[in-house]
Amino acid sequence: MSTTFQLDTATSRANPTPAPMKRLTIPAIRKRKVNGITVEPVVMLTAYTARQAQLLDAHCDLLLVGDSLGQVIYGLPSSVPVTLDMMAAHGAAVVRGSYHAAVVVDMPFGAYEASPQQAFESAARLLKETGCAAVKLEGGAAMADTVAFLTQRGIPVMGHVGLTPQAVNVLGGYNARGRSDAEAAKIVADAKALDDAGAFAIVVEGVVEPIAIDVTKAVSCPTIGIGASAQCDGQVLVTEDMLGMFERVPRFVKRYEEIAETISAAAARYATEVRERTFPGVEQTYQPK
């Protein structure tokens, strides 16, 4: 039986506890797709904290510590300013808070593009410091050699094609990709290059649906759609988006809950009780025996 670190919800402290099951492995995820068919779609959500990981873990195959934490957690304008230190800290927290899902950590902008050697150093650090199962990087054919370099050295890699947020300054925004024949062909070619290089899965983001379907048919590894198609081999969303934590979310997001309203209403009730001096009550205070 493996051992992991989970939060003891009674004390909010991390204590080593026996894991009730083994984690899903990267090879197991890769094997979901056989002869171009994935019978059981891959479920992935983002997670940035240990408690969030605990709540999502049992329902997901993969937990992605995305560099989207730049916007979601730190209020940054994009993922570009995110650092390797940030990814390492949040990645370790998510691994501590989970025992079932395989954890994938994003490689932040500037941590892997210069050379395969730079990518290996960054990825090795993330695996060592977080205990994650794999890393994710953006880019297509241009990153194929890097993907091959990493996988040949024992580091599983998830690719990412289509709308690549780290390249927002080159793309000129977050608009859907693949509307022109040339761009569509490039997205498919990029995915094939990553597949051939050994990526165990590929995120397909923000592309017109027919292109997402073409990519899924063209590669042997699972595709994970976001703003793509239900015909992808799996799906991922930013958890805070699907929970309704923000007023404005991309059109491809389905809100499964309105947690922001719940939090705001609870804070309003708390504020009222504090101002009325009705909180804390007898139940929340220590009385003489």
Is 186 marked within a binding site? no
Predicted confidence at residue 216, as pLDDT, reads: 98
DSSP one-letter code for 251: T
Other Cβ atoms closer than 10 A to 90: 25
Write the CA distances from 253 to 72, 114, 115, 178, 239, integer angstroms.
15, 33, 34, 19, 10
Per-residue pLDDT of the chain (289 residues; tens, 9 = 90+): 344 555 565 555 555 455 566 899 999 999 999 999 999 999 999 999 999 999 999 999 999 999 999 999 999 999 999 999 999 999 999 999 999 999 999 999 999 999 999 999 999 999 999 999 999 999 999 999 999 999 999 999 999 999 887 765 555 555 676 688 999 999 999 999 999 999 999 999 999 999 999 999 999 999 999 999 999 999 999 999 999 999 988 889 999 999 999 999 999 999 999 999 999 999 999 999 8
Is 68 marked within a binding site? yes
For residues 122 and 230, what is the distance between their CA atoms, to the nearest angstrom? 33
Other Cβ atoms closer than 10 A to 81: 15
Residues 208-226 as b or e (16 or more Cβ within 10 Å = b): bbebbbbbbeebebbbbbb
Q: Is 121 a known active-site residue?
A: no
For residues 154 and 139, what is the distance between their CA atoms, to the nearest angstrom? 20
For residues 159 and 152, what is the distance between their CA atoms, to the nearest angstrom? 15
DSSP one-letter code for 1: -
- Which CATH entry fits the domain spanning 3-258: 3.40.640.10, 3.20.20.60, 3.40.50.2300, 1.25.10.10? 3.20.20.60
Is 257 marked within a binding site? no
Helix (H, G, I), strand (E, B) or coil at 9: coil
Is 190 marked within a binding site? no
Is 138 marked within a binding site? yes
Q: Where are the domains of the chain?
A: 3-258
For residues 107 and 109, what is the distance between their CA atoms, to the nearest angstrom? 7
Which of 40, 113, 121, 205 is flagged as catalytic? 205
- pTM, two decimals, is 0.91
